[in-house]
Amino acid sequence: MSHAPFILAAYSIGTVVLLWCAVAPLIRKKSITRDIRRLIQIEERSSDTNS
């Protein structure tokens, strides 16, 4: 039996898992910075109306 599909499968799964491991926090970071920016906007708007 050819070994090639097993080598390919092993490295593909490895790549996918490690890629996800590397990228997942960055996706989280995008949503956090979006939330913080929105928070800043709300605060700036409320301080504008107050002052």
Partner 1 sequence: MNSKADTKTKPRKNALVMFIHKLGSPPWFYNFTGKFIPWFWALFIGLAVWGLYLGLVKGPADYLQGESVRIIYLHVPAAWMSMLIYITMAVLGFIALVWRIRIVEILAMASAPIGAAFTIVTLTAGSLWGRPTWGTYWVWDARLTSELVLLFLYLGVIGLYNSIDEPRKAARAACLLAIVGAVNLPIIHYSVKWWNTLHQGSSISLMGGSSIDSSILWPLLIMAFAAKFFYAANLLTRARIKLLEQDVRKAWVREVLREKKS
Q: Is 42 in the site for partner 1 (CB under 8 A)?
A: no
Contact status: 11 vs partner 1 (CB under 8 A): yes
- Please work out the total of residues on this chain that contact partner 1, with binding judged by CB under 8 A: 27
Q: Give the integer Cα–Cα distance in Å for 9 and 14.
A: 8
Compute the residue count for the chain. 51
Q: How many CB atoms lie within 10 A of CB 14?
A: 10
Chain positions contacting partner 1, by CB under 8 A: 1, 3-4, 6-7, 9-11, 13-14, 17-18, 20-22, 24-26, 28-29, 32-33, 35-37, 39-40
